[in-house]
Amino acid sequence: MEFTLNIFTLNCWGIPGISKNRRERIEAISKYLLTSDHNVVCLQEVWSERDYLYIKEFLSSVLPYSHYFYSGVLGSGLCVFSKWVIQDVFFHQWPLNGYIHKIHHGDWFGGKGVGLCRIKYLDRLLNIYCTHLHAEYNEDDIYLAHRVLQAHSTSEFVNITSSPADISILAGDLNTAPGDLSFRLITQIANLTDPCNVEIIGETTSMIKPLGTCDNINNSYSNPKVTKLCPDGKRIDHILYNVNPNCDVEIKNFKNPLEERVPGQDFSYSDHNAVSLEMRVKFSNAKNRDRPKSSYDKYDNTVVEAIKGLLDIGLIVFSQM
């Protein structure tokens, strides 16, 4: 059996009363998704229930199944839309979620975490994880410890819950670039693959080197001072995957859609660029659901680095008290 899995993820920057052009952008995002070939969509920062319900109704003819992950005071901002039946859902809230006195950042009030939608396609199971890790608001990065712990918690959750699935996808704004400690924790402990890895790109892949998804010079909301230093921006929004040994996967397309402006407007779809991944999946007849699991022995260096980093941050904070 073969089928095409086409994933889309976007941080929608949908904060009521704060995000610029929110209503027009939500409508434009919905119109794009209605005519696209994506069969699974993961959105972040959909903070308004009204916006979620609007998107849900607008896409009901093409992506009839959806779920919004309610959490905390404001909601997690995470939602998933699917062409196929969502069989089960679960939300894993992180134990560390910013500071309550940082009201303008909002992470504590959102009760953020990672959402899981288990989707059934024929007799196969797809685990779709949608998440949004804590942002780095400035160079001092007082939230580094939060993000590292969130990354570890996410990777453990994916690692523990992915065994029944034939394919596992983690999509969202991870606020961490390839090579960063948080990114290595997520990919190594959960055995997740980055499609940008040149070793897995096939000859038939339609793929252009992806640019940064945040602070990109092509985005109308990017800070000119930041883009002047790094025009390509940072690649912090990702679609990562893991497949069972009974699956053969070919990456057909990996790109940043919606890089252009909203039609008829002078602003972008969001302050982040979207990411999409198209993969051709072929199943063998044998339903071998066993997959190699991660090993802390194999990734000792990464785990030790994370522990040392958290201890150093704790000592710095303690010395300032």
- pLDDT 10s digits, 89-114: 999 998 876 545 444 444 544 568 99
Name the strand (E) or helix (H) holding 189.
Answer: helix 181-189
* Residue 282, helix vs strand vs coil: strand
**Confidence band for 77, pLDDT divided at 50, 70 and 90:** very high
| Average pLDDT across the chain, whole number | 85
Query: Would the pLDDT of 197 be above 60?
Result: yes
pLDDT by residue (tens digit) across 113-148? 999 999 999 999 999 999 999 876 554 556 677 788
Given a cut of 80, whether residue 247 has pLDDT beyond it is: yes
Whether 167 shows a pLDDT value over 90: the answer reads yes
* Residue 318 pLDDT exceeds 50: no
Least confident range from 26-40, 201-215, 220-234: namely 201-215
Contact 211, 235 (CB under 8 A): yes
Query: What's at 176, amino acid-wise?
Result: T
Tell me the backbone φ, ψ of residue 217, rounded to 5 degrees: -65, -25
* Active site amino acids: 272
Domains of the chain: 2-319 (3.60.10.10)
Q: What is the pTM of this model?
A: 0.86
pLDDT tens digits along 225-246: 999 999 999 999 999 999 998 8
pLDDT of residue 124: 94
The DSSP code sequence of 86-147 is EEEEEEEE-S----TT-TTT-HHHHT-EEEEEEEEETTEEEEEEEEEPPP--STT-TTHHHH
pLDDT (mean) for 51-73: 95
